[in-house]
Chains A and B, each alone.
Chain A
Amino acid sequence: MTKKKFLSELEERLSVLSDEEKQDIINEYKDIIEEKVRNGKTVGEAINDFGDIDELAKEILKAYKINPDYSQKSKDGEVLGKIESGIRKIANALAEITEQIISEVKSNNVTVEKVFEVVIKVFILLIALMVLKWPFYLIHGIGMSILEVGYQPVETILFIIWGTVVWTTYFILSVALFFIFIKKEMETHNNEVTKVIKKEKTIVKKEKTVVKTEVKEKNKAEAKDPEVVVEKETNIKPENSKKNNFIPNIFKVIIGICFLFPLVAINIGLFGAISVVIYLIIRGIEIYGILIIIIGLIFIFSNLYNIFYNIVVSKKKLYMFPFAIGMVLITFGGLMSFNYFINLNYYDHMPDIKLESKTDTYTRTFENELNIINYSSNNKIKLVADNSLEDNVVRVEAKYYNEYIRIGERLDRDHYRNESYLEFYPKTKWRLNKLINRFINDLEKNEVYNYKELFNIDVTIHANEKTLKLINVD
């Protein structure tokens, strides 16, 4: 690191302080580095003596009684700033890693054992990421069951949003964990290297003291000797303190998964909802009340998120007023939309519209028994005898509204139970936008229909009488 870079990075980390104070500190450090260079050190050595720049900045801020975590957050308050600093950090980390690897290889500090150690650790990390996927499956499943409103097209949209939110979060978390791992790995490695250097230093010191005793000052040499012993003790310390932190960390991870993640998901979901509402408003449906309600909810859930974030990560000031604002907005929005909802007519069926339907015909052969799996309770499954068909053969007719969906069909054999399964399920044709348009048109007329039927399939199964006995409908 050059002097300029060090000073500018330090300045950036101290940005909460007034310009005057900052300049004072920067000048001081500049002077120290220059002084050291005059005394025969290189710039790099002089900077390395200060230790980790983040720690240094934290210590300085503590001298002003500023919570270092808080200052960093308020500094990068905006999302863009956060992303930018994140990217910069990643880039710096990568640059430092490569720099280090090159220098390590050059100085032969890398041993085969160390490489193996890292490989094994990466392997463990990958397993941990796989295990971490399970709670996400669980959350995904829970969310799906909550969002199962049985009312199209809203349900499909909710499912798509929820799936995207959950798996994007998992992906981001995995990447973040990976970077944390790399950073930790580098830090421990650095510590090892400095340990080696420190040991060398103490040996040099010992030699010096021996020389001194030969010259004159016996007492001083004795006073210094205990320090050498003490030095070795400090080297062991960090590992102990790490172990002590382990249990609260697990607790934090659990809170993070159980509370923080759902709260983040809810917030993202609310922003999704806001964009949907704004889209509807642009399309001419006057649901300003709902917009206000959602903004109120965002206030409340963001604040809840802040509270849990404080528990897990760090302490910053907590406010109660967002709750109050949120409640006021929800009440106000609720009153505003009250009329709207009263005027809204809900029909639990499809409107009387002419829809194009299509019938697919399949012939399938099965062994032993055939189970027809009913995808939806609204599906109609009819069995019809047709003795012109051979044994163990079925002719299936599936009728559906091909304007909006296509259907999937699957014949599976369970070799273990020696049975066959036949299943039909609707596949959206990516005609969802067409359905959404219909939904919005209905809303304009203050009508809401349930388009669930649209996804239903009428199945008629033909088989000869003997074969029909082998068919079970779930």
Chain B
Amino acid sequence: MNIQFKKGVLELIVLVSVNKKDMYGYELIVEVSKIVDINEGTIYPLLKRLTNEKYFDTYLTESNEGPPRKYYKITNLGRERMEELVNHWSVFSESVNNFIKESVVND
């Protein structure tokens, strides 16, 4: 998969993941890596951006091991953004899939 492609989908995956439950940075990486193999370096800047754009809120929680963790929580604005992206994705993937199916049949 093309890097730009991955980056585009990454935002969607991160939004969906955090929507499911509040997460801290490392947890998110583990979660996202299950779906796409992507350079970790690109995930934190993305989190930063999503926070700056008010899609995420952050809060600190004490952890049993080590220092307190910074959790990311989705905002209403973030949820709207997620729904928008999910919509785009469904329409897009469906049309691509249909196109491939038709092309293969025609072959």
* Stretch touching chain B among A49-57, A245-253, A382-390: A49-57
Q: Is B79 an interface residue (CB 8 A)?
A: no
Contact between B1 and A234, CB atoms less than 8 A apart: yes
Q: Is B89 an interface residue (CB 8 A)?
A: no
Q: Is A222 an interface residue (CB 8 A)?
A: no
* Stretch touching chain B among A60-68, A181-189, A297-305, A364-372: A60-68
Contact between B49 and A31, CB atoms less than 8 A apart: no
In this complex, the interface size class of chain B, counting residues with CB under 8 Å from chain A, is 20 to 34
In this complex, the interface size class of chain A, counting residues with CB under 8 Å from chain B, is 20 to 34
Alpha-carbon separation in the docked complex, A29 to B48 (Å):
12
Q: Is B102 an interface residue (CB 8 A)?
A: no
B-facing mask of A11-53, CB < 8 A → 1, else 0?
A: 0000000000000010111011011101100000000011110
Asked if A63 meets B45 with Cβ closer than 8 Å, knowing A31-B67, A32-B25, A237-B3, the reply is yes
Interface residues in B37-57 by Cβ distance below 8 A to A read: 37, 39-42, 44-46, 48-49, 52
Alpha-carbon separation in the docked complex, A248 to B75 (Å):
43
Contact between B49 and A63, CB atoms less than 8 A apart: yes
Contact between B41 and A51, CB atoms less than 8 A apart: yes
Contact between B1 and A233, CB atoms less than 8 A apart: yes
Question: Least Cβ distance of A226 to chain B in Å?
Answer: 9
Contact between B44 and A60, CB atoms less than 8 A apart: yes
Interface residues in B1-49 by Cβ distance below 8 A to A read: 1-3, 24-26, 29, 37, 39-42, 44-46, 48-49
Alpha-carbon separation in the docked complex, A55 to B25 (Å):
19
Contact between B39 and A51, CB atoms less than 8 A apart: yes
Q: Is A192 an interface residue (CB 8 A)?
A: no
Q: Is B69 an interface residue (CB 8 A)?
A: yes
Alpha-carbon separation in the docked complex, A155 to B97 (Å):
75
Q: Is A227 an interface residue (CB 8 A)?
A: yes
Q: Is A59 an interface residue (CB 8 A)?
A: yes
A–B pairs, 14, beta carbons within 8 Å: A25-B44, A25-B48, A32-B25, A32-B26, A32-B29, A32-B44, A34-B67, A38-B66, A51-B42, A63-B46, A231-B37, A233-B1, A233-B2, A237-B3
Name A's B-contacting residues (CB within 8 A): 25, 27-29, 31-32, 34-36, 38-39, 49-52, 55-56, 59-60, 62-64, 227, 230-231, 233-234, 237
Excluding A51-B42, A64-B52, A234-B2, 17 further A-B contacts by CB distance (< 8 Å) are A25-B48, A27-B70, A28-B25, A31-B70, A32-B29, A38-B65, A51-B41, A52-B41, A59-B41, A59-B45, A59-B46, A60-B45, A62-B45, A63-B49, A227-B37, A230-B1, A237-B3
Name B's A-contacting residues (CB within 8 A): 1-3, 24-26, 29, 37, 39-42, 44-46, 48-49, 52, 65-67, 69-70
